[in-house]
Amino acid sequence: MKFLRAALLLLLFSIPLVATGAVRSGDFPAGTVWYVHADLEQMRSSDSGGPLYAWLDGEVFLELRDEIGVDINKETDSVTAFSKPGTGTVVLIKGRISKEAQQKLLDVARSEGRLETRKHGKKTYYLSGDGRESHSDGSDPFDSLQESTFFSFAVNGKLLVASNEDQLKALIDSNGKISGSKSHEGALFVLSADKTFMQAGLKTDQFAEDDDDWDSKIIRNTEQAALMLSDADGMIAVEAQLVSTDARLAQSIGGIVNGLVSLQAFNDDLDPEIRTLIQNTRIEVDEKVLTISTVIDPDIALAVIDD
């Protein structure tokens, strides 16, 4: 769980702000309610992503090395996670996943409770927890992994994790390939670029509230949201899209955001770097889709995160 939390923390860090390894909407099964994909190898090997990765290494991954002895720099190249009702959460971690790292993860699982070794054909997998099936609706990233976590190192170069035993067996059979629907009604929006660091998205209906304020109205009338963090000629590009149920509401939100951005662009109290960031922000509305995009100097991005 500590290992998985660190991977999904990447999503939380990217929110304030088609290449090899990127994911697409057809990669996920029908009914998927959220996803996150982090290409750590792309991040640490690029000029723009390198400083961001160094910050993550010092603030997040260092704690993991201290607690469980696994060095993400050496062991992990990418993390893909998603969830859907019924089958719960799936996490695929690609990398070297050395025998030493495997043993350390097994030791952590054993120290935190029950650990059971099981077989699927000739392949080994493990159960951490009480084995009870999850009935999560998929909206909570960790809810379906609380009672039972099934995981396996049976596929070379991958750590497979699932909250549903049949789902894990299916991943073992497919050599860790996600069984997506390719094209289906209501497929999740997935944003990608040539050098993608982070992709994330979710269906927002589970966050709807009954209150009649403006924020709740936006949430109730939003079907999906998607985020992307990528490289743009040495800068960090950030793009967010919101799919509304109502084209008029998308236009209204776009107008309000555009107005706020325009006002702040002339604020003399802002640092020049922040003013440049705001001036680089673009808001576009196409029917029901609102897109907000900008480019950020990596140093400014780190300063914003540190604040």
Residues 210, 139, single domain; the answer is: no
Higher pLDDT, 277 or 137: 277
Give one DSSP letter per residue of 254-306, joined into a string.
HHHHHHHHHHHTT-TTS-HHHHHHHHT-EEEEETTEEEEEEEE-HHHHHHHHH
222 and 164 share a domain?
no
Residues 12 and 148 in one domain: yes
Neighbours of 153 (CB within 10 A): 19
Q: Are residues 80 and 215 in the same domain?
A: no
- Pick the closest to residue 280 from 225, 232, 212 (CA basis): 232
Q: What is the mean pLDDT of residues 239-244?
A: 90
Q: Which two tokens stand for residue 44?
A: 């640490």
Q: Residue 159 belongs to what domain range? A: 2-17+44-173
Same domain, 12 and 122: yes
Do 120 and 204 reside in the same domain of the chain? Answer: no
Reduce the DSSP state of residue 208 to 3 states and report it. coil
Give the span between the Cα atoms of 151 and 124, in whole angstroms.
Answer: 9
Is 182 a domain residue?
no
Phi, psi of 227 (to 5 degrees): -135, 150
pLDDT at 19: 38
Total domain count, the chain: 2
Asked whether residue 141 is assigned to any structural domain, the reply reads: yes
Q: Read off the pLDDT of each residue in 65-80 and give the average, rounded to a whole number.
A: 84
140 in a structural domain: yes
Identify the top-confidence range among 9-13, 72-76, 153-157: 153-157
Residue 131 has pLDDT above 70, yes or no: no
Which CA distances in Å does 77 have to 38, 71, 287? 9, 11, 37
Six token digits for residue 235: 């800068």
Whether pLDDT at 125 is above 90:
yes
Shared-domain flag, residues 201 and 161: no
Task: Return the SS3 of 275.
Answer: helix
Report which secondary-structure segment, H or E, holds 274: helix 272-279
pLDDT for residue 181 = 64
142 shares a domain with 48: yes
pTM of the predicted model as reported, rounded to 2 decimal places:
0.81
Residue 28 falls within a domain, yes or no?
Answer: no
Residue-wise pLDDT for 163-207, tens only, equals 889 999 999 999 998 877 666 666 677 887 878 898 998 887 765
Residue 127 lies inside a defined structural domain of this protein:
yes
User: In terms of domains, do 141 and 6 share one?
Assistant: yes
Same domain, 153 and 11: yes
